Structure 1
Amino acid sequence: METGFAFLDVFARWAHFIAGIIWVGHNYSSVVQRPSWQPLTAADLVSDTSPRFQTMLGREHGFFRWSSVVAWGAGMFMLWQRGWLEGALTLQGSLAPLGLGVWIGTLMMANLWLVLWPHQQKVLGFKPASVEERLRCSRITHLSSRTNTMLSIPLLFFMAAGAHGGFLFG
């Protein structure tokens, strides 16, 4: 492998690894911090200065969403660089476990960007919405986040099985 490609490979691996920890770790920390769902109240949303709203804003308005893009993009780059992308996406042979991980990760990222984030923008007041709508959206964001947390378990399994246990699928 050329030095330039070797550097890109190491960079992509670390970007994938660190961004994945940030992305999935955010979901796990959410479960630890809030093991059961506690619905917001109208009082939590009426004032942007409420302590609970400010806590949500600080935690949610971070860069964890973009770490999903970095993790997914770096993973796709690594598969492409090795010539494995098509085989993984079509679940062929020993690349099937990795491919399942890719599809689960893609579903998780779509859930984050197309379901969770649009609703979270309303909860946080970044997009105009009535208090009732914001309360409804808070439940959707909770369920969407928990869905990604649960999907991360098979995602991690299939990612690891691709390199450490692929014989199970051969």
Structure 2
Amino acid sequence: MANILGNLTQALFLGLVLLAGMIGYNLSAGADTMAVVMGTLRTAHSWAGVLWIGLLYYFNFVQIPTMPSVPAELKPGVTKYIAPKALLYFRHAALLTVILGLAIAGHAGYLGPALMLQEGFRVIGIGMWLGLIMAFNVWFLIWPNQKIALGIVDGDADAKAKAGKTAMIFSRTNFVLSFPMLYCMIVQGNGLGA
């Protein structure tokens, strides 16, 4: 078991096999196929969202506050190896979360009413708009500035410092927006959507 769990790819594959087993179980137990498909999409949406917001919280609770205390000779370990990989998963998890969320809302028939904040869909609509704003920030404000700050794209010391500050401000913006966004996403399913 240590061989499987010690390898991320194998552990991911094992998790997907277990997920497929649960899906197969529901189908064999006579569950409605469309309900299983929608449940699977919601699971994928939730998984991607947990990855996205989990990395957002990692950046804001761990990496950003810790970097000033990291000795200069150790910073490249973070800026050249850890941060670029974390940002890769971060931005793609944001994209996948949005695509799956829009697909779920579209299939369920509430995409338009939610985005237009119509009665009965305002809470989920606000959550969707917050998620869209946050994803925009990831792809068009945080990532371009992080590329400069991390030296992936050329920039002098002043450009790197300015880009790092801009990326941090929009990361903090997303951090702040994540609280009402998560609330809106969760309470709509509890019948509190107005």
In structure 2, which of residues 141, 163, 166 is the aligned counterpart of residue 137 of structure 1? 163
Deviation at 1:33, TM superposition (A): 1.1
Is residue 31 from structure 1 mapped to residue 60 from structure 2 by the alignment? yes
Unaligned segments of structure 1, at least 5 residues: 45-49
Q: Which residue of 1 aligns with 2:109?
A: 83
> How has the CA–CA distance of structure 1 residues 60 and 38 changed in structure 2, closer, same or farther, with 3 Å as cutoff?
closer
Q: Which residue of 1 aligns with 2:127?
A: 101
Is residue 127 from structure 1 mapped to residue 153 from structure 2 by the alignment? yes
In structure 1, which of residues 110, 113, 126 is the aligned counterpart of residue 139 of structure 2? 113
Unaligned segments of structure 2, at least 5 residues: 1-30
Report the Cα distance in structure 1 between the residues aligned to 2:79 and 2:168, rounded to whole angstroms: 12
Kindly indicate whether the alpha-carbon contact (under 8 Å) linking 2:123 and 2:184 is maintained by their aligned counterparts in 1.
Answer: yes
Runs of 4+ aligned structure 1 residues displaced above 2 Å come to 5-8, 34-40, 56-60
Kindly indicate whether the alpha-carbon contact (under 8 Å) linking 1:16 and 1:75 is maintained by their aligned counterparts in 2.
Answer: yes
> How has the CA–CA distance of structure 1 residues 61 and 36 changed in structure 2, closer, same or farther, with 3 Å as cutoff?
closer
TM-score, structure 1 normalization:
0.84
Kindly indicate whether the alpha-carbon contact (under 8 Å) linking 2:56 and 2:90 is maintained by their aligned counterparts in 1.
Answer: no
SS state at 2:114 partner = helix
Is residue 58 from structure 1 mapped to residue 81 from structure 2 by the alignment? yes
Report the Cα distance in structure 2 between the residues aligned to 1:146 and 1:59, rounded to whole angstroms: 19
Overall identity of the aligned pairs, in %? 26
Is residue 20 from structure 1 mapped to residue 49 from structure 2 by the alignment? yes
Kindly indicate whether the alpha-carbon contact (under 8 Å) linking 1:53 and 1:124 is maintained by their aligned counterparts in 2.
Answer: no
The number of residue pairs the alignment matches comes to 160
Deviation at 1:19, TM superposition (A): 0.8
Deviation at 1:35, TM superposition (A): 6.4
